[in-house]
Structure 1
Amino acid sequence: MEKAHYAMEAVIDVLSEYERERGKPMPTLNHAIIQANLIFALKLQYRQQYSIVSEINLTMPIRPDTVPDVAIYPTLKIDFLHDVTSMTAMPLTIIEIVSPSQSDAEILAKFERYFNAGVGSCWLVLPSLQAIAVYTGIGKYQFFTDTTTLTDPSTGINLALTEIFV
């Protein structure tokens, strides 16, 4: 039992402050570029219909809270006098960009939590494949490659993937 405790301490010591604070892997350059491209493309086409939010803490019904890469909400009104650090209302869509250290099981467990909390769709962005899988439930997804147009049936969003993987 004592050895397991020391092993856990060693793993915790290796995690960066970012990873400890947010509970997710440190983003890579590809991750950052794709996240910026997604936000730009979504805001360009859908800023009147939706609020596109990056790196916002979500207060989940069952702990722990989570910080998705991008969240899509119905249009939110900005209140500059009363800011929030965590959203209790779940977004319509969550976008997660896979990091090299994340496992499929870890991401699908996250998606299950999102769907159970009322999120309508989850996008799984796969940088190495230049593809996005749009989930509308666990085991229910459509796969889009970089030469196709993504369609999210829960929001009606259509997005050319050539804009994302450039």
Structure 2
Amino acid sequence: MEAIIEQISDYERERSKPIPTLNHAVIQGNLIFNLKLRFREQYTIASELNITMPEGPDTVPDIAIYPKLQIDFLHDITSMTEMPLTVVEIVSPSQSDANILAKFERYFKAGVQSCWLVMPSLQAIAVYSAIGKYQFFPDSATLTDPVTGIELAVGEVFS
């Protein structure tokens, strides 16, 4: 019997996350577009931003939502030490529920106030306010995040 050796790309090794798929890329773009279109005055919406965690390795959420930040284009930041209000993670086919919930647990312990779990195969989003405490929004619903006040038509994310 041959052993199956899974190849891990440099991307996965560096970011500790799976390589994004086409569905992932489209959903991430749709989310960023819709969030910036409606909430750019209130929040800074950042994708693939390295966040220095107080305990353990750094993490790179798909999207991080901060209160409006003053951006200094002459002096860039390679890793944020301030926690975002909200992180958004888009499920990849190779991720397990346990893996994602462990990530959310780290985020909440570090001070993140809400976590969105985007589920492409269900065309739905769950908004977590704590581990085990979430609201489920199918594609026909309007997502409401009580932490940020963000409201978003879930169907627009999957169109």
Smaller-chain TM-score bracket = over 0.9
User: Which secondary structure state, in structure 2, belongs to the residue aligned with residue 142 of structure 1?
Assistant: strand
Deviation at 1:161, TM superposition (A): 0.9
In 2, distance between residues paired with 1:48 and 1:84?
21
Corresponding residue number in structure 2 for 1:38: 31
Aligned length: 156
Corresponding residue number in structure 2 for 1:58: 51
Corresponding residue number in structure 2 for 1:3: none
In 2, distance between residues paired with 1:118 and 1:109?
15
In 1, distance between residues paired with 2:65 and 2:8?
29
52, 64, 72: which one pairs with 1:71?
64
Deviation at 1:115, TM superposition (A): 0.2
Deviation at 1:162, TM superposition (A): 1.6
Corresponding residue number in structure 2 for 1:4: none
Deviation at 1:95, TM superposition (A): 0.1
Corresponding residue number in structure 1 for 2:20: 27
Off by >6 Å, runs of 4+ in structure 1: none
In 1, distance between residues paired with 2:135 and 2:58?
27
Corresponding residue number in structure 1 for 2:105: 112
TM-score in terms of structure 1 length: 0.92
107, 113, 121: which one pairs with 1:128?
121
Consecutive unaligned residues in structure 1, runs of 5 or more? 1-6
Corresponding residue number in structure 2 for 1:160: 153
TM-score in terms of structure 2 length: 0.96
In 1, distance between residues paired with 2:155 and 2:131?
26
Query: Per-residue CA shift, 1:86-118, capped at 9, x if unaligned?
Result: 000000000000000000000000000000000
Q: Specify the code of the residue in structure 1 equivalent to 2:71.
A: I
Deviation at 1:81, TM superposition (A): 1.3
Corresponding residue number in structure 2 for 1:100: 93
Query: Per-residue CA shift, 1:32-83, capped at 9, x if unaligned?
Result: 0000000000000000000000000000001111000000000011101110
Instruction: Supply the RMSD in Å over aligned alpha carbons.
Output: 0.9
Greater share of residues in helix: 1
Q: Specify the code of the residue in structure 1 equivalent to 2:51.
A: L
